[in-house]
Structures are given as structure tokens and as C-alpha cells.
Amino acid sequence: MQPSFSSRGQRLFGKGGTPPSFLRRRRCMNLVSTKPQRNDKSKSGNISVIASSTNENSKNCPSSFSERRKNVNTTNALANDAPTVEDVTSNLNAADLDKEGRTPKKTNNNNNNKEKSDELERRRKQKLLQRYSSNYDATTTTNNASSSENPTTSRRVVTLLDGNARLRVCSDGRVSLFYAHFEDEEETKWELTSRSLVTVPPGAESVGRIVSDETTMKVEFLERSKSDGFESNVDSSTKKKVLSTLTIKPLSAKGSLTKDEREWTDNLTSGFILDYVVQTSEENEYSVEMAEIVTDVESSGKWFGGGHFVRQEWPLNGACQEVGPHYPFDFGPHGINTLVSNHWVTSTGFAIVADPETSFFHVGLNAPKENTFFEALTPNGSRRKFHTGVANILRPTALPLTSQSRQGDGKLRLQSRSGYCDSKYGAFSQEHPLVGWKSEKTHVQLPENIDPMGNLSLPTEEKETPAAAKTKNNNNRKNVKTRTCSMRVAMLAKRNVREATENVLESMPKPTQAVDTALVRGPKWSTWSRYKTAVDQEKVLKFASEILELKYERSIMEIDDRWSSAYGELEFDSVKFPDVKAMVDDLHLKGFKVTLWVTPFVTEGTRAYKEGVKNGYFVKSKVLTPGHSKAGFFSWWQPTPVVAIDLTNKDAREWFLNGLKSLQTRYGIDGFKFDAGEPCFLPKEFETKVPMKHPSEYTKLWSTEIAKTFELCEVRSGHHSTNSGVWTRIGDTFSSWTTSNGLRSLIPHLLTSSIVGYPLCLPDMIGGNAYAGGPSKELFVRWAQANCFMPAMQFSIPPWEFGKDVSEATNKILKTRLKLIDLIEDLSIKSSKTLQPICKPLWWLAPEDSNTFDINDQFCLGDDIVVAPVVYDKQRRREVYLPKGEWKEFDGEKIFSGGQWIEGGYEAGIYDIPAFVRVI
């Protein structure tokens, strides 16, 4: 079962988990300073506590913080649970603070100056009181977050700052992040960007204790004492085991960050690192024990990022993404696809970045709730299975489900689990290839005398009391090895969604070499959709001659699946390709560069297999993958069983690379299309020479250690591999109009690639892959039009096969692209160094214009071109929104004012591409 926010609250107060009003306590905080915190501690990275209070004796006070979105649902679970906190003045005297919130040194100012300062401070406080309509008795503020109060009876609220970010932390594990606005260096208002909480493990107190030093704040959740099923009041001096700890560090506190924290948060600003650690035990290794950080979806506005899905929604609020493993798949059981990212940004300026090294990382966004008797009562609910090949095409429903067809839980769930298991995730269970896999690098076993939480408040040498020892024995913990799950994220508060995205991109690893722009200067032509595996030398040369005769633009001829004698054998099939050197020379003369399709797979019985087995070059396994009679073999989209090259083995990588370079030397091959690379294509419970902490390391190695070696290349899979700087293809698309991997998924896939650090996006073949029948004439033309303004184009289904009209329309589209090549090439070179998008969402140009957040069928090329392709069958007029400014038709003379929808829509005939260039 998916953990609830408050399982104890549900037991006591029913399904909603909310106590009756007479048991609720209202919480308030004191604001020490409303000025920018530029004191010495802030500069040195020390933690700055600007507010701290308990909930004792506080009067009711209405919410005072202005929220960016007016339609936030106040009955939302997280919003309901969030502490009610006021932005108010403290009871400190004005003389105790200078204008920057610091305690000044004593001076000999005369009484007149003091009276003037007091009057200014009194007016400032009065303005704050009027602005926030506060009405309560202020409590004393302290800069030390620790307290002697019993955590089981008192909740505490502490507010921290870092740059413009204000993080409100409650001792029950809830956090709210705000963006602070300033006018004339005076803090004027806070805007809510997100509400989050941590899931407290079973057996822990629902309210923790807050402890801190100069650079770190922690909320510790202690083991609960039981008395008739209710929490009992235990004296705080009694030592109790810490079951989980939430550690918070400001991003500016570089000195307090560990080396690995600095690596994945480098250049992130105005926010905090939250590290939630939960103790697990060896006996529960394959349970769903986890560390979970949950964020409310609705209060953060519109969501973007996370990676590619089979059904690609933009924004993500339209999806019900089931909680499942977050690593690259080829049509994953919950919809995740070949490109995966660990960050999300929202329209409120909120960004959440998960540690890319998270063990057994699981993600769900607005996960579907149980809504049938079967799902609620059966152990596995509705089962999702991972399929390969044609089975993916035959799936009745593309995933993730939509929020229109299914009610979701309204949460982003980020989980570090104790393992991959075939268990129920909310309404669904998911069977996938890595169930049962574990790594030696995943968990660190801790000696018994080491506190796994790094507890600041408990003396490390304190002897165990007899009562604690008795409890330990009674719970049979003597022989259980301690392990931990750690879910680490960075939470940022920025002015808007563009600033949040730019900051996250700035933190990502950058490429070290410029990109080959051959794919920009002319379309790529692939043999796949046209010939599938029946490709041979005669067909390749005929294809090239037709392209030349009909005067189509060209750059690359990619020879796809089954050019080789067998999978993994890096040699041409001599029957199908009798004279490879002559074929390549002919293609070069016709103006084509030549690339070959390759994978990391090898079939049994080949020379490559025998050599690889002898030298230990393949991924191993001690168990059989279901459906196979030999360990190490597994299924993929072709029917032949294969093994995978062990990319963690340096010698295996060199062996494979030498084979590819030999093809270049002998035949003049210019580059390669690196297909697959997803860890779903590995044997069950696989073992590699160098243990991997998480399976996405395989994908990263495929991109950064193999593909990156070649100047002309492309990959389709990616995860934390932004430094490879290679073209990243959108996964195989279907020949349909739909959002379910058809034409309407093209722009959302493109935009998602752009904002998660893969700007060199290669859209899949125009018209789709023709797996279940080819595209119609209109679908093909509209697909080519949409692709025209994107970073690269590739054809496989020949336009001339649809007739003269489609052939002429395609040539017209390619002539339009010629006008854009210099711009796209410049943007590509720049983006390959900075990760800045080539194609951008509309909100990039107008990040605070709410009209732009939901537009999923328009995009921008650079900052001065807006493209609005037609993506619906038989549509001849469409709605177009233009950002603020003056815009002219790309192929016309009409001028339109921006900041609004074009009145009456825009006419778009079958041969028209609605596109607009900024004039002002």
C-alpha cells in the first residue's frame, strides 16, 4: 500500500486523518527581520533562523502570505496540514536590530538619533501589522532551533532563509517554501512556491524534535512509546532510538556540504538541500521500506520535467503517473521512456532536484488512487508488466493515464527504496526486469556504535540505559543489521519558471566538445521505417538515387538494423552487402555521410560472443531470466536472445570501440546511431565488473564513454548524461495523430528534452515508424511541417510514395528550413556548451504569463520565432497565442500584437506552417 501522510491520523480520526477542531493547534511564528539577511553568518554559509516558535498559547491567525496562484485548493491535504504561520514583528526592541537585521555594536549615538531610529522601526512594524492583519501575542524568538520541549506534545515552526528563498519547517516534517520579494531592499511579501512533507516511518513519533548547529538543521523522529495504541508522553531526557532524520542545509553553506552534495548542487542558488534518512533493516531488504519526500502538486502550479513518457503530457498536471522505478525504459510498465531526468520545475518558480545517485529511485506524480474493489483488496492491484517489441504497440492504453480518466493523489512522490520489488505501488503493481536486483554500493552497513543519523543532540558515548536495552531485546533487534534509505533533494525558490529552469541547467554537467552540425544542415535519411530488417546494399543505393533525382536536401544516410552478419558482430553481412567500400564511396559522392545502427547486444554463436565470453566482457547473472535457458541472456525487441556488453569493464569498452573504429578505417563509415542503452535490457539480477549504485549508470556509460567517442553520433537513452553533448533522439513514435506517442506528443517531447538538459533533440522519423500501418498523406505533411523548425529532421518513409502533391509539399518545407539553418546551427553550437534550449516553451519568453503554461502545441525557436504547427487531422484554422510584443508572419506581411490570442484564430491550409517572427 502507498503510505499515507498520517497513518496514525487515519487510525484516530478516520480516512481524512484530520483531528476535530477542538484538538487542533494553531501555529504562529515571529519574524525577526523583514530586511534582506546580509549578515556575516549568511555570507559564510551559516544557517540563518529568522523565525522560531512553538504552537503553545498562540491565537488563531489567518494565512497572511500572498500566493501566486489564486485557485489553490485550500482543502488539499498538504495545504490543510501546513502550519498556519503569520509574517509578523517580534517583541525585540528596535534598538536591538540595525537596518539589516543585525545586532549592532554599541555606539555613542545621542538620544535624538535613537528616538529617530525607534520611530522608523515603530512605523515599519506598524506597516507590517497592517499588511498582514496580525492579531496575537508574540512569543520570544531564539536563534537556537533546539528546544527542551517534549516533541510528542509540542510542534515547533522554524523559518530559514537562503537568498530569496524562505523555508518554513515544522517539527512534524512539513516544509513550505516561499519566494521573498523586495522593494528598495525591503522585504515586501512572500509568495508560496511549494508545500512538502516527509513520510514518517511506522513506529516513530509523529512530531520530531528540531536541533541545529551553525550550518545544519535537523528534525529527528524518535521511536514511539506505546500505551494502548496511543503515543505516550515520555520525558525528553530518556534516550530513544532515532528512526528517521530530516537534515536541511542552505545551498549557500558550501562549507557544510559534502563532496557529492557539491557535485550535484553546483551553481544552484536560493534554496536548500533536504536529506531525509530512514533506518531500514536487512530482514526487510525487499520490502517497500523507503525514505519519501512528498510535494503537493496543485499549490506549485503547473509542472514540467522528469523525462519522456509514452503519453507525453505538457504540463504534467494532465497525467496520473504511477509510482514506479525511475530509470530509462523502452516503453516502461508505468509509461516512463528512454530519457529520464531527476528534476522538475513549476510555474510558481519552484524547482526540485533529486540526487541523481539516489538508490532504487521511485517517482510518482499525481499517482492514480485505488478506485475499484479489485485494486483495493488484492495484494497486487492491477498488474503492470514490462513488454518488448510488438507487445508495446498492442497495449490497449498508453501510459501514464490521464487526470481526466483517473483520479490522482495530487502529490509528487520521490522515494529512495530499500530495493526493487514486485509489490503494489498505490493502485498498481509493476513487474520489471530489475526486480530483485541489488548492488554492493547501494547501502552502507553501519557498526553498532555509530549513530546512522549523525545525531547532533545525543552524546555518542552515552551508555544505553537498562530500559532501552530491555526494549531493544523485546523487539528482537540484536542480530538485525542497520541500513538506511536516503532521499536527497534540492528545493529552489525563484522569481519564475524560467529562472528556476536556467538555474537547474546551470548546475548540470556540461559538454566539453562542440557538436557536429551535419544533422542541422540537411535532413537525415534512415532505412528503418522503409525497409526494417530487410535492408541491403541495392536498396540503400536505390534510396540514395531517388533522393538525389527528386532534389531533396540531405546530410546523412543511416543504415539501420541487420546490416551486420549477426547482432553484435561488427562486420557487414557479405550476402546482403557484397561490396561495402564501393557502396560507401558512392554515397559520399552523392553528398551523404554514412552512419550505422549499433547496440550493446551480442547473440550466441558469433565470433564476438566467443571472444567476449572468454575475456569476461559481458554482464553476468547467477539466475535465469524468465523465458531463457542460459544465465546472462535476456529478451529485447527482436526475437533473438542476447547478452549485454559490460560497460563498467574498461577492457570491454575498448574491445567494442576498437571494433567500431575498424569499420571506420576499413570502409569509411562516418559515425553511428547508438540504439538501446536502457537498463531494462539487462539480465535478471545482473552483475557487472564494477558494481553500479543504480542501474542508470549503464545508460550514462553508453552515452559518455561510448557514443561521445565519435564526432558524428546519436543516442536515444539518457539519464544524468548531459555532459556527453551528443544528439539525443526521441524514442520510436507511432504513425498516429495522438498524444499517445503520435504527432501530438512531438512538441511535448521536444520541450521536455529542452528543459531537462538535452537541447540537441533529434525528433524521430517524420510520419512515425509505420509499425501498425503507415501515416496518411495529411499526417505526413503536418508532421514534416512541425519538424521543420526543430533542431534536426529525419526521414525514412519516402515522401514521393504518397504522390506528387506530398512530394512537392515536402520540398517546400525543406526550402523553408533553408532560411533557418544558420540560426539553428548557431543555437546548436551554443547549446552544446551551455545546455540552453534551442527550442523553448512559450513560457520561456513570458515566464509570468499564465496563458503560456498550458500551451502544448506551440514552441519557440530561439527568442524571436514562435511556431504553431497544426497537429489535428483536417484542421484548417487554429488558435495561436503570441507573447508580448509585435509579431509578423514568417512567410507573410501581417502584423499581430502579442500578449493575447489571435482573434478568430489563424488560417492554416494544408501547405501552411503558422509561424511568427518578433518585430518588436
pLDDT reading at 384 higher than 50: yes
- Return the C-alpha torsion angle 174, 291, 217, 446, nearest 10: 160
Q: In which element (H, E) is residue 102 found?
A: none
Contact 871, 744 (CB under 8 A): yes
3-class DSSP state of 597: strand
Q: In which element (H, E) is residue 484 found?
A: strand 482-493
- pLDDT band at 386, cuts 50/70/90? confident
- pLDDT band at 802, cuts 50/70/90? very high
- pLDDT band at 304, cuts 50/70/90? very high
3-class DSSP state of 526: strand
Mean pLDDT of 653-678: 98
DSSP string across 569-602? --SB-TTT-S-HHHHHHHHHHTT-EEEEEE-SEE
pLDDT reading at 461 higher than 70: no
- pLDDT band at 123, cuts 50/70/90? low
> Which pLDDT does position 449 carry in this prediction?
34
Q: How far is CA 871 from CA 782, 810, 811, 915, in A?
A: 7, 16, 20, 14
Contact 294, 412 (CB under 8 A): yes
Q: Which of 57-61, 428-432, 500-504, 533-537 has the lowest mean pLDDT?
A: 57-61
pLDDT reading at 592 higher than 70: yes
pLDDT reading at 827 higher than 50: yes
Angle at 141 between CA 140 and CA 143, to 5 degrees: 145
Mean pLDDT of 338-366: 96
On the CB side of 740, how many CA atoms lie within 13 Å of its CA?
12
- pLDDT band at 804, cuts 50/70/90? very high
Contact 336, 180 (CB under 8 A): no
Mean pLDDT over each residue of the chain, to the nearest integer: 81
3-class DSSP state of 528: helix
What are the φ and ψ backbone dihedral angles of 452, each rounded to 5 degrees? -65, -15
> Which pLDDT does position 369 carry in this prediction?
86
> Which pLDDT does position 239 carry in this prediction?
75
pLDDT reading at 376 higher than 80: no
> Which pLDDT does position 20 carry in this prediction?
35
Mean pLDDT of 652-676: 98
- pLDDT band at 823, cuts 50/70/90? very high
pLDDT reading at 176 higher than 70: yes
Mean pLDDT of 211-224: 90
Rounded CA-CA distance 319/334 in Å is 11
Q: Which of 232-246, 424-438, 466-480, 818-832 has the lowest mean pLDDT?
A: 466-480
What are the φ and ψ backbone dihedral angles of 457, each rounded to 5 degrees? -100, -10
What are the φ and ψ backbone dihedral angles of 865, each rounded to 5 degrees? -130, 130
pLDDT tens by residue, 275-285: 999 988 655 44
What CATH architecture is 517-837? Answer: Alpha-Beta Barrel (3.20)
pLDDT reading at 259 higher than 80: yes
- pLDDT band at 54, cuts 50/70/90? low
Output the pTM of the full model: 0.83
pLDDT reading at 479 higher than 60: no
Q: Which of 96-105, 671-680, 748-757 has the lowest mean pLDDT?
A: 96-105
Residue 11 DSSP class: H
C-alpha cell at 755: 528543459
- pLDDT band at 733, cuts 50/70/90? very high
C-alpha cell at 896: 499581430
pLDDT reading at 847 higher than 90: yes
3-class DSSP state of 656: helix
- pLDDT band at 170, cuts 50/70/90? very high
Mean pLDDT of 578-591: 98
> Which pLDDT does position 228 carry in this prediction?
39
> Which pLDDT does position 430 carry in this prediction?
78
C-alpha cell at 349: 518558480
Q: How far is CA 184 from CA 36, 274, 772, in A?
A: 10, 31, 63
Can you tell me which residue has the cell 534551442? 838
> Which pLDDT does position 405 carry in this prediction?
86
Residue 702 DSSP class: I
- Return the C-alpha torsion angle 572, 573, 574, 576, nearest 10: -120
Please give the share of the chain, as a percent, with pLDDT higher than 70. Answer: 74
Q: How far is CA 324 from CA 162, 565, 576, 650, 884, in A?
A: 33, 38, 43, 31, 40
Q: Which residues contact 826 (CB under 8 A, 6 or more apart)?
A: none
pLDDT reading at 143 higher than 80: no
Rounded CA-CA distance 833/430 in Å is 38
pLDDT reading at 436 higher than 60: yes
Rounded CA-CA distance 358/418 in Å is 11
> Which pLDDT does position 111 carry in this prediction?
56
Q: Which of 234-238, 511-515, 577-581, 734-738 has the lowest mean pLDDT?
A: 234-238
- pLDDT band at 163, cuts 50/70/90? very high
Can you tell me which residue has the cell 557487472? 688
Angle between helix axes 804-818 and 777-788 (nearest 10 degrees) is 0
> Which pLDDT does position 429 carry in this prediction?
77
Rounded CA-CA distance 481/636 in Å is 38
Residue 577's identity, in one-letter code, is: F
Mean pLDDT of 363-370: 91
Q: What would you report as the CA-atom Rg of the chain, rounded to the nearest whole angstrom?
A: 30
What are the φ and ψ backbone dihedral angles of 743, each rounded to 5 degrees? -60, -40
Mean pLDDT of 691-701: 95
Rounded CA-CA distance 886/893 in Å is 12
Q: Which of 30-34, 39-43, 402-406, 493-497 has the lowest mean pLDDT?
A: 30-34
Rounded CA-CA distance 126/133 in Å is 10
> Which pLDDT does position 231 carry in this prediction?
44
Phi-psi region of 342 (alpha: psi -120 to 50; beta: other; left: phi over 0): alpha
Please give the share of the chain, as a percent, with pLDDT higher than 90. Answer: 64
Return the top range by mean pLDDT from 201-210, 366-375, 379-388. Answer: 201-210
- pLDDT band at 560, cuts 50/70/90? very high
Between residues 522 and 212, the one the model is more confident about = 522
- pLDDT band at 179, cuts 50/70/90? very high
Rounded CA-CA distance 11/674 in Å is 53
> Which pLDDT does position 48 carry in this prediction?
61
- pLDDT band at 913, cuts 50/70/90? very high
Q: Which of 137-141, 264-268, 548-552 has the lowest mean pLDDT?
A: 137-141
pLDDT reading at 476 higher than 70: no
pLDDT tens by residue, 313-336: 999 999 999 999 999 999 988 899
> Which pLDDT does position 513 carry in this prediction?
85
C-alpha cell at 34: 523583514
Q: First-to-last CA distance in the chain?
A: 55
Residue 422, judged by CB atoms within 10 A of its CB (0-12, 13-18, 19+), counts as middle
Residue 23 DSSP class: G
Provide the residue ranges of all domains of the chain, joining segments of one domain with +.
165-179+210-225+239-396+405-442+482-507, 517-837
Can you tell me which residue has the cell 540537411? 522
> Which pLDDT does position 57 carry in this prediction?
34
